[in-house]
Amino acid sequence: MNKFSWYDAASIEEAQKEVNATVSQTIQPDSPENAAVFKASGIDLLDLMKEGLSGPAKVVGIRNIPGLDEISFDPEKGLRVGAMVTLSQISGDDRIKANYLALHQAASRAATPQIRNMATLGGNLAQRTHCWYFRSKELVCFRKGSSTCFAHVGENENHAIMSYGYCVSIHSSSLATALMAFDSIVEIKDKDGKIRLVPIKNFFVLPTVDRTRENILEPGELMTAVILPAPKRNTVSYYIKMGSRKSQDWPMAEVAVVAELSGNVCKSVNVALGAAAPVPLISKLANDSITGKTITEATAAEAGRAAMQIALPLSENGYKIPVFQTIIKRALLAVV
Amino acid sequence: MKNKKSKTEKTGNISRRGFLKGAGIAAAGTVIVGSGILISKPHSHEKDEKFVPGTISINMKVNGKIREMNIEPRTTLADALRSELHLTGTKVGCNRGACSACTVWIDGIPTLSCMTLAVEVGDREVTTIEGLAKDDRLHPVQEAFIEHDATQCGFCTPGMIMTAAHLLARNPSPTEDDVKKATSGNFCRCGTHPKVFAATLDAAHKA
Ligand SMILES: Cc1cc2nc3c(=O)[nH]c(=O)nc-3n(C[C@H](O)[C@H](O)[C@H](O)COP(=O)(O)OP(=O)(O)OC[C@H]3O[C@@H](n4cnc5c(N)ncnc54)[C@H](O)[C@@H]3O)c2cc1C
Ligand code: FES
Ligand code: FES
């Protein structure tokens, strides 16, 4: 790791005054000199620094800013999860388990118990992709300023199967998959202290729009919380992660479903896919396929097939299609 | 990531927050700049000052004792424990958060010391494998690991024991599935997992 100076911020204002760059900017060839960046628990930031991909001059810790690590729930208003809440806090919260099961499940299955004790919601959403070409110091990939996405000719078994342009990385946040299904809102404080409420589907940025970043955060903008709407009556959710091992692993495919039911009839639904594309996605095709229908083995399987109609697998990741079809079916069957 | 052993300038007025409690300089609102000078916020920090981070002296509560050590902001807790305090029981496997060999407790919570900056520990208390035994008596999990021969090369063992001991502190009668879940992030290349599960369950019965 490069040498850096350490700033332990006591307030949001103080942290924002110090920070002048995003971590994503520090990975680019034209990284600002004297970059100062936010650090939450640092699992992602320190990994990028240890690899030599990011070398900020100053690291600004936001752990000790009061008020960012709280969870509040009101059956009328919904759920507010502070950006510094850890994944363990989320998976241990009974209100979340009772009202937002898919979020509980996503937080409980991500990474390892130790990482969940450390990693924060904000950091999880703003982490960079774990594409192994992007993560390697030796390779200057498309996202880091060259004209080559190595995954096209290289090992691409973990990469995207849809909605990519040239870069076929997948977004790495498991929590984002669940939060997309719940139509969550990301609360961001800009440098002037103004609060912006951004629907989570507008938070993530495709490489076709800007290959240097994965989210809309500008230097010094701080996520303060994620807000989930109040649970509607008869609304049920479920999340499934498929990894190559049962213990700790990155997902090869993830799905989160939030469905409003009338008996076993699906009145409305949000099927969110993770590890499918460079951003977490809502599958409109799956939504449309199952909406208005009774959820059965057959209709759930049909929704899974519908979701995969737009899949364009690479040389090594065609296996993801049946995996997604299966977990979409299972997640839909799990809500009834 | 080796620490410089050079003596540092003694920090100036450091009686703020964390320090007041006598353990750690990671008091909120402080910045560590130029060869270990600690500047108190909010008055003295200037936007364009030169940041040349050097070695600093911090206090950290480790295994019940306050220890002083010289670190840089980039020094991980794992390196601080091993190189500064010579508590080499904590092992570093991947150094990237993926194997959990470096697990210690911070305020009783299993935490990866390779992905924690020493400077951030502040006034929280660190417990390492060396701090688990009480008055020359091994922790029941340590005893059970010996009885069950739950260690081969031993590299994953300290992290494994810290993880298992935390499980028992939280859940005195776990099922095998609970043990598997708790240790799911602890990788063992020698394949001791079945013995780890048996030892942990046995320790639970005896405790
Ligand atoms: C072995 C391993 C397995 C993993 N498996 C999974 C998995 O299955 N699923 C999954 O989702 N993740 C997984 N992860 C990734 C891990 O969950 C993330 O690295 C972690 O959540 C990042 O959170 P953090 O608090 O450490 O963020 P940091 O590293 O501190 O920050 C990450 C980024 O977010 C920015 N940031 C942080 N907080 C804010 C804020 N409030 N406002 C603005 N910007 C902010 C930082 O500047 C930085 O750019 C895994 C990681 C490892 C090492
Ligand atoms: S050494 Fe810390 S997780 Fe592997
Ligand atoms: S005993 Fe060798 S790695 Fe576990």
d(CA A314, CA A154): 10
Summarised one tens digit per residue, pLDDT across range A181-195 is 999 999 999 999 999
Decide: helix, strand or coil at residue A215.
strand
Summarised one tens digit per residue, pLDDT across range B45-85 is 333 333 346 788 899 999 999 999 999 999 999 999 999 99
How many angstroms away from the CA of A162 is the closest CA of chain B? 28
**A100 and A186 inside one domain:** yes
pLDDT at residue B23 in the model: 38
| Final residue of a structural domain among A45, A62, A79 | A62
pLDDT at residue B32 in the model: 63
pLDDT of residue B39 exceeding 50, the answer is: no
Interface size, chain A vs chain B, as Cβ–Cβ contacts under 8 Å: 110
Specify whether the CB–CB gap between B72 and B47 falls below 8 A. no
| Among the listed residues A233, A229, A240, the one whose alpha carbon sits nearest the alpha carbon of residue A300 | A240
Neighbours of A138 (CB within 10 A): 7
Ligand 2 pocket test: pick from B88, B102, B156 the residue with the most ligand atoms within 8 Å of its Cβ.
B102
d(CA B153, CA B89): 13
Residue A159 lies in a domain: no
Candidates B33, B37, B40, B41, partner chain A, best to mutate (most A CBs within 10 A): B41
Specify whether the CB–CB gap between A45 and A37 falls below 8 A. yes
Residues of chain A in contact with residue B120, where contact means CB-CB under 8 angstroms, are 8, 61, 63
Ramachandran category for residue B86: left, alpha or beta (phi over 0 → left; psi -120 to 50 → alpha): left
Give pTM, 2 decimals. 0.92
Summarised one tens digit per residue, pLDDT across range A80-105 is 999 999 999 999 999 999 999 999 99
**What CATH number does the domain containing A195 carry?**
3.30.465.10
Q: In chain A, how many domains are there?
A: 3
Instruction: Show the domains of chain B with their CATH numbers.
Output: 11-39 (no CATH), 90-116+125-206 (1.10.150.120)
B27–A8 CB contact, under 8 Å: yes
pLDDT of residue B18 exceeding 50, the answer is: no
Within 8 A by CB and 6+ apart from A209, the residues are none
Residue range A30-48: mean pLDDT, rounded: 97
Domain interval for residue A40: 1-62
* B103 vs A59, A61, A114: nearest CB: A114
By mean pLDDT, which of A227-231, B52-56, B166-170 is the weakest? B52-56
Question: What is the CA B88 to chain-centroid distance, rounded?
Answer: 11
Residues of chain A in contact with residue B14, where contact means CB-CB under 8 angstroms, are none
**What CATH number does the domain containing A36 carry?**
3.30.43.10
Taking every pair of C-alpha atoms in chain A, what is the biggest distance, in angstroms? 60
Mean model confidence pLDDT for chain A: 97
**What CATH number does the domain containing A304 carry?**
3.30.390.50
Backbone angles phi, psi at A242, to 5 degrees: -110, 120
pLDDT of residue B2 exceeding 90, the answer is: no
pLDDT of residue A307 exceeding 90, the answer is: yes
**A88 and A191 inside one domain:** yes
**A212 and A328 inside one domain:** no
Residue A156 lies in a domain: no
d(CA A36, CA A23): 9
**A210 and A317 inside one domain:** no
Summarised one tens digit per residue, pLDDT across range B105-130 is 999 999 999 999 999 999 999 999 99
Summarised one tens digit per residue, pLDDT across range A119-143 is 999 999 999 999 999 999 999 999 9
pLDDT of residue A218 exceeding 80, the answer is: yes
Going by pLDDT thresholds of 50, 70 and 90, the confidence category of residue B1 is very low
Measured by CA distance, the residue closest to atom 4 of ligand 3 is B188
pLDDT at residue A246 in the model: 74
DSSP string for residues in B49-111: -------EEEEEEETTEEEEEEE-TT-BHHHIIIIIS--TTS--SSSSSSS-TTEEEETTEEE
